[in-house]
Amino acid sequence: MKLTILGCNGPYPSAGGACSGYLLSEGDTQVLIDCGAGVIANLARHIPWEALDAVVLSHLHYDHMSDLLPMQYALQFHPRAVPLPVYAPDSPAAVRALLDAPCYDLRPMEDAQIGEIQFRFHPGRHPVQSFALRAERGGKCFAYTGDTNELEGLDGFLAGANVLLADAGLSAADWAMEKPHLSAERCAHLANRAGCGRLLLTHLNPKYAPEALEAEARAVRPDAEFVQIGRQYEI
């Protein structure tokens, strides 16, 4: 599988940046994971609109789904044979209702085979219903925490992933158990406990210098790095 970074800020984009959006590809299978502000402009650099097999939304905070609103317009000009499957949580219902459009086929967050990739989901801990995911193909596993803080059972769900993409939305100093995100340092401990092969950090809040958060993570795991728009990772 190949992971292409389309956006990696949260909860708002940096200058020239974009919020969460990750294209996971295998053969002809193209799955967009999250679709925050700025993501579809970067998606169009990589694949035609018609090539997407599905969209998977970890949760319905705007920084993970807002670009699905203008994508409805793009799909009017690039019509598909069938509506685009969109896997999304049930709540908040008012946000989910925004996606109730003829071009989208809304589906629940249940295990799914999407083209050549098998997806599994696990609840996260966040102010709204949120999910972590595992995407597997040919003995390789990509895992993504979605937005979450520490949660019992998450280590086991992420266990053994070849690549873990993790929510590093906070500095170590700003982290607390009641906050909605992990810190970069806690992502590193999580990746170690789960025995993940490689740690990629994301959900960079533009108020932080990425080097500072990376340094906190690298004190635990020297391989930790923030992803960047346009970079691709083999899994």
Question: Whose Cβ is closer to Zn ion: residue 57's or residue 75's?
Answer: 57
- Answer whether 182's CB lies under 8 Å from 169's CB: yes
Closest CA to 115 of 1, 230, 233: 1
Question: Whose Cβ is closer to Zn ion: residue 1's or residue 182's?
Answer: 182
Least distance in angstroms from the C-beta of 66 to Zn ion: 11
| Residues contacting residue 9 through CB under 8 Å, at least 6 positions apart | 17, 18, 19, 20, 36, 63, 203, 204, 205, 206
Binds Zn ion (CB under 5 A): choice among 26, 67, 147, 185: 147
Binding mask 81-100 for Zn ion (x = CB under 5 A): --------------------
Number of residues that bind Zn ion (CB under 5 A): 4
Least distance in angstroms from the C-beta of 99 to Zn ion: 16
Q: Does 38 bind Zn ion (CB under 5 A)?
A: no
Binding mask 163-202 for Zn ion (x = CB under 5 A): ----------------------------------------
Binds Zn ion (CB under 5 A): choice among 7, 10, 21, 38: 10
Question: Whose Cβ is closer to Zn ion: residue 7's or residue 10's?
Answer: 10
| Residues contacting residue 122 through CB under 8 Å, at least 6 positions apart | 131, 132, 133, 134, 153, 154, 157
Least distance in angstroms from the C-beta of 19 to Zn ion: 7
Least distance in angstroms from the C-beta of 111 to Zn ion: 22
Least distance in angstroms from the C-beta of 57 to Zn ion: 11
Q: Half-sphere exposure of 130 toward its Cβ, with a 13 Å CA cutoff?
A: 24
Measure the CA angle with vertex 182, ends 178 and 185; round to 5°. 125
Binding mask 47-76 for Zn ion (x = CB under 5 A): --------------x-x-------------
Report the C-alpha gap between 120 and 86 in whole angstroms. Answer: 15
Question: Whose Cβ is closer to Zn ion: residue 61's or residue 96's?
Answer: 61
Residues that bind Zn ion (CB under 5 A): 10, 61, 63, 147
